[in-house]
Amino acid sequence: MKKTGLISALMAAAALMLITTAGHAKTFKMAIGDAQGGTQWALAQEFTKLFTEKAGSKYKISLFPNGQLGSEQDTINDASMGTLDFSLLAVNNITPFSPTVGVLTMPYVIQSLDDAVKLTHGAVGKELVENTIRDAGVRIVGWAYSGFRVLTNSKRPVETLEDLKGLVIRVPKNEIMIATYQAWGINPSPMAWSETFTALQQKVVDGQDNPFITVSAMKFYEVQKYITTIRYIFSLEPLIISESVFQSQKPEIKKAILDAGMEATLHSEQYLRNTEDSIKKDLVAKGMVISAPADGEKEWIEKATSAVWPKYYDKVGGKAKVDEILKVLGR
């Protein structure tokens, strides 16, 4: 009996030790929409390294790229409910949950990387963080800068809106982006990101738009031939954390998350500056043909801004908010 009691006591002590140790360790899950090799992956790796350094080795992050944990919009739902810790995704996929973030997807509002940095680092970015917490139950803790969404297709060079007609273009399920293509004279095909490569490969759609770095990371050069360097949307990829998960952390871990997010954001900015030109050259070497819109994109800009901006002022916070952002950008 004494021996049995001792064994029971040792087992109970071991179980308590395991529970205690587990209580001091944590592995977070991070969903990543893109495949390895793009700006999302670069930001995720940098954030993971920085966070572990700041929080301690008992805190780790497991990365799940290429939509392994579901579509980007699904991961927002999961994070909102607290069943997923982190997600790294295209900003347009947050707008259905927090519409004011859509101001960052209004065509031709952001016209350079410097514009994107100024907005995300300043008062506008802070306000959008608060809005996503309020509206969606998720907190933006970092930003990946991916560059302008260029147009690719498999049929012909596109330099004018006339050239665009007759092409079937995949777009995300995003109202503003759909409306922009409609302003340009075509009806695009809204489609989930996970379905896009196959749809291009099988010629269900002729083209799509994404930054150079995404075109490379997703190997679109295997199924697309032509690139048009339109600059209608600068692709921002926010890193979000479930607000309930964030609030459940100790103060020092919250600080580690926020500090790692800021430093990883600065890393992403420099990463884009260092890599975009070489990626363009590599895509050309792989057989892609790059063209610029005729007349400095004037017709594209005029049609998009005159048709789309007024239609979405109310959803993104009002015309005054758009004017305020343009003023911040010196326009």
- For residue range 38-91, list pLDDT tens digits in order: 899 999 999 999 999 999 999 999 999 999 999 999 999 999 999 999 999 999
Q: Are residues 271 and 203 in the same domain?
A: no
Helix (H) or strand (E) run with residue 238 in it: strand 234-242
Q: What is the pLDDT of residue 24?
A: 58
> Domain range for residue 189?
150-233+283-328
* pTM for the whole structure: 0.86
Beta-carbon contacts of residue 312 (< 8 Å; ≥ 6 apart): 102, 106, 175, 176, 179
Residue 154 confidence (pLDDT) above 50: yes
| 46: enclosing H helix or E strand | helix 39-55
198 and 317 fall within a common domain: yes
Q: What average pLDDT score do residues 8-28 get?
A: 54
Residues 192, 75: one domain?
A: no
Is residue 240 in some structural domain? Answer: yes
- Domains contained in the chain, number: 2
Average pLDDT of the chain, as a whole number: 92
Predicted pLDDT at 15: 46
Same domain, 226 and 243: no
pLDDT score, position 37: 85
Residue 104 lies inside a defined structural domain of this protein: yes
Please tell me the predicted confidence (pLDDT) of residue 9: 46
**Mutual angle of helices 298-312 and 175-183, in 10-degree steps:** 140
Residues 108 and 204 in one domain: no
CATH code at 264? 3.40.190.170
Do 165 and 114 belong together in one domain?
A: no
pLDDT tens digits for 190-236? Answer: 998 889 999 999 999 999 999 999 999 899 999 999 999 999 999 99
58 and 47 in a common domain: yes
